[in-house]
Amino acid sequence: MYTDKVLEHFSDPHNVGEVENPDGVGQVGNPICGDVMKITIKVKDGRIADVKFRTLGCAAAIATSSITTDMAMGKTLEEAQAITRQQVADALGGLPTNKLHCSNLAAQGLHVAIKDYLAKTGAAVKGAGSPAAEGAE
């Protein structure tokens, strides 16, 4: 069963859409369940100035995308890169065991968008690439 927080973010998701002229794009998917997420970011002064998502998937996939974008907004790239799948699940009050992969996808999509930004700009983020920064994926 889903928590009230999951249902809230599923029925009224935050940050839906795509950032115009994004600085970074992360698209991830799970071939087993069919969930696909695209997260776009705008970076200003080393911080996530805007972040949006488009997700095709179940209630948990949409809710984790929504909460992940909330968690990343305004964070430094280092802080956003350190968001883990467990933190995403915890922010939603937990997820059923068979839906934990959704929080993994949301965190991974954010990390891929940040990596895309870094690759495009040649910038570096302290801690990027470490197991903690990868969200223990």
Catalytic residues: 33, 102
**Tokens linked to 59:** 């209630």
Task: Compute CA distances 30 → 59, 68, 94, 116, whole Å.
Answer: 15, 17, 20, 19
| Cα four-point dihedral sign 83, 87, 91, 92 | positive
Residue 76 and residue 81: Cα distance in Å, rounded? 8
Specify whether the CB–CB gap between 69 and 88 falls below 8 A: no
**Tokens linked to 137:** 């994926």
